[in-house]
Amino acid sequence: MKKINRRDFLVRSSAAAALVSTPGFAYTQGFGAAAPFTDYRALVCVFLHGGNDSFNMLVPNTTAEYNAYAASRQNLAIPQADLLPINPVSQAPGTEPFGVHPSMGGIQALFESGNAAFVANLGPLVEPTTLADYQNMSVILPSQLFSHNDQQSQWNSLKGAGTSNTGWAGRMADLIQANVANQKMATNASVSGTSLFQSAESTIAYVMGQDGPLQFEGFSDDPTSILFDQRLAFQRVLDAQYDSIYERGFANIQSRAVQAADTVSTAIANAENSGVITTVFPNSLLGRQLSTVAKLIASRAELAMQRQIFFVGIGGFDSHDDQNQNQPGLLGGVSDALAAFYSATVDIGVADSVTAFTQSDFGRTLTSNGDGTDHAWAGNQLVLGGAVNGRDIYGAYPTLEIGGPEDVGGGRFIPSTSADQYAATLANWFGIPDTDLDVVAPNLANFAQRDLGFMIA
């Protein structure tokens, strides 16, 4: 691989930024005329806010590797007998038998059945980085490592050393706008608030609550009712001219809310009434969000959807304290909700068309601060769905030694695979052509492997 001079890279970086921020250039590179997709695909981003301690989610299970893990993790290590063993099919060098956290039985089953995979030692990178590179500052690093909101932004936007107002899901939605012109709902939909992940130059994500869109009180479709006039009057107030950017911004959101609430709520109700989803979801925040996503997927025909990206998120992973008490519930909750979600996609008949994947601010320190862990860098992520090339671990799982060749200090590992490559692999499956993957993942060109191979075509 070529050694990259810092100055050269800055030039390239601003070119990448130009790709992202100059709509004309980026979008003329796209599909061209409005050829619609002929199939349906959906991505579901499950963001684990706070920084998931994922070296306790996916744990080495061979003697030497487990012992290194246990020695480093001390009071936070999972006892080896408690691990749920998994058997990755890959014979590539560096892949060894592993186990998942004892509370993740659902994930274990999905992995062993070939419908889930892990991507190991993954994190934001601008270019391939060794420990010497890091210590000598001879490569460009992503900015603000170890800071929550900045690393959430890194995963969501792939901004690297620069800044970004758009996320990689937002950029995908912008790229395919012309190809999905007949959709009745935005490509990007969230059941967990506004996120940089779905922010874009042009398209706007549709934000709902965990149970779907709210309806407005005091509005009616019945023309004989005064509430019909009220709705129209309310809309005309929103459509008036305003001198302030703030009034216009507010009116814009309110307008979208009024119009979309009707369309999407009707679609969800129809999905519920059809009885197609028989899976029962756990009554957790994540379970309810994924249940709503499943209903929206079930309504894809009614909403004329062909490409969807959902944003789902929960918090609580910032385990500075009480990690041993809290982690089983956290990881068990993720496992149960994702297992139910996969089952629902089977009910609907779209298991091969829907891919869920996790992101999280960062992995956490191998070392303990007494009863918990602190912010680190690389971690392990999970992908699941029928289209996943499952039952394997992608990337290079590190040796979990303090002071080892990937440790920048305190048991914080440099990623061996980049978030850009992760996103590009998912984008590729989603239908973004190879020439546009650099818009989605601006640092991708710095890495040899543009697709990590964890998706079946």
Stretch that binds other proteins, among 124-132, 285-293, 369-377, 392-400 (CB under 8 A): 369-377
- Rounded to an integer, what is the distance from CA 362 to the centroid of its chain? 13
Q: For other proteins, which is the closer residue by CB, 103 or 365?
A: 365
Answer yes or no whether residue 317 interacts with other proteins by CB under 8 A: no
Q: Token match 């993720």: residue?
A: 334
Question: Nearest approach, Cβ of 179 to other proteins (angstroms)?
Answer: 20
Rounded distance, CA 305 to CA 296, Å?
A: 10
CA distances from 331 to 52, 102, 314, 317, 367 (A): 9, 9, 11, 9, 20
Q: Count residues near other proteins (CB under 8 A).
A: 77
**421 phi, psi to nearest 5 deg:** -65, -40
Query: What mask of x and - would describe binding to other proteins in positions 203 to 242, judged by CB under 8 A?
Result: -x-xxxx---xxxxxx-------x--xx--xx-xxx-xxx
Applying CB under 8 A, the span of 102-110, 249-257, 340-348, 388-396 interacting with other proteins comes to 249-257
Shortest distance, CB of residue 149 to other proteins, whole angstroms?
A: 5
Dist. CA 334–CA 324, nearest whole Å = 16
Of the candidates 357, 439, 384, 448, the residue with the CA atom closest to the CA atom of residue 168:
439
- In degrees rounded to 5, what are phi and psi of residue 291? -65, -40
Site string for other proteins, 68-107 (x = CB under 8 A): ----xxxx--------------------------------
Q: Within 184-203, which residues bind other proteins (CB under 8 A)?
A: 193-194, 199-202
DSSP 179: G
Nearer to other proteins, 274 or 325 (CB): 325
* Nearest distance in Å: CB 169, other proteins: 13
DSSP assignment letter at 74:
G
Q: Is 39 in the site for other proteins (CB under 8 A)?
A: no
* Residues 346-365 as x/- pattern, contact with other proteins by CB under 8 A: -------------------x
Considering the complex, what minimum distance in angstroms separates the CB of residue 355 from other proteins? 25
Beta strands (DSSP E) in 3-137 are 41-48, 58-60, 84-86, 98-100, 116-123
Among 220, 270, 302, 320, binds other proteins (CB under 8 A): 320
List the interface residues with other proteins, window 388-447 (CB under 8 A): 402, 409-411
List, in sequence order, every residue forming a beta bridge with 100; answer none if it has no partner: 58, 84
Subset of 250-279 contacting other proteins (CB under 8 A):
250-254, 256-257, 260-261
* Residue closest to 257 by CA, chosen among 216, 293, 222: 216
